[in-house]
Each structure stands twice: as C-alpha cells, then as structure tokens.
Structure 1
C-alpha cells in the first residue's frame, strides 16, 4: 500500500473515532435517561425501549471499533 492510501485510511480512521465518541456521548445520555426513570416506569415500554436503544448503540460502537482496527491492520 502506498503512502497516499495509508494517509487516506488514517483520515477515515480518525473520522470513525470522532463518530464513535459522538455515539458514546449519545449512549451515555440514553443510559442516564433510562437509569433516572422512576421505579414505577421500569416495567414500561419506554424503559424497555431505552434499554434496547442502549444495547443497539453499544453494538454500533463495537462495530465502529472493529472497523477502526481493521483499517489500522490494513494500513500496516
């Protein structure tokens, strides 16, 4: 791989890191929202949906991390 393509991959990896941080921030906000629901709502659809969203955002974060690692390996 030439220097120019490595540089492009590094730029993509940096963008993924920024996206991952933004996604992490949103996940933390959703977790806080879920965790601060009153006890009487913890069996509600809203609570369950918030929990599902947290799981989905974590999965997306895991996928971004894997993509970043794959790009790093490709650039070696």
Structure 2
C-alpha cells in the first residue's frame, strides 16, 4: 500500500471514532431511559421497542468497531 492510500485510511479512523462515541452516547441515553421507565412500561410495547433500539445500537457499535479494527489491520496499526 502506498503512502497516499495509507494516509487516507488513517484519516478515516478519527471519523469512525467519533461515530463510535456518538453511537455509544445514544445507546447509553436509550438504556438510561429504559432503566428509568416504570416496570409496567418496560414489560410493555414501549419497553420492547426500547430494547430493540438498544440492540440495534449495540449491533451498529459492533460493526463500527469491526470497521476500525479492519482499517487498523490494513495499515498495520
């Protein structure tokens, strides 16, 4: 890999780190909202939807972390 392509990949990492942090914050906020729901809401449709959102955010977070790792491997970090 030449220097220019390596630099382009290295420039992506801070952007992906920022995206990862944003997803983590949203996930944490959603988890806090779920945790602060009355139990009757947690067990109902609203709680189920919140759990689905949290799971989706966890999945997105995992994929971003995988992308970061793959890019680091590509440039030998």
Q: Which of the five TM-score ranges fits, normalised by the shorter chain? A: over 0.9
- For this pair of structures, how many residues does the alignment match? 76
Which TM-score applies when normalising by structure 1? 0.95
- Structure 1 residue runs without a partner (length 5+): none
Within 5 Å, which residues of 2 pair with 1:30-69?
Answer: 30-69=30-69
Which TM-score applies when normalising by structure 2? 0.94
Runs of 4+ in 1 over 3 A off after TM superposition: none
- Structure 2 residue runs without a partner (length 5+): none
**Residues of 2 paired with 1:14 and 1:41: CA distance?**
38
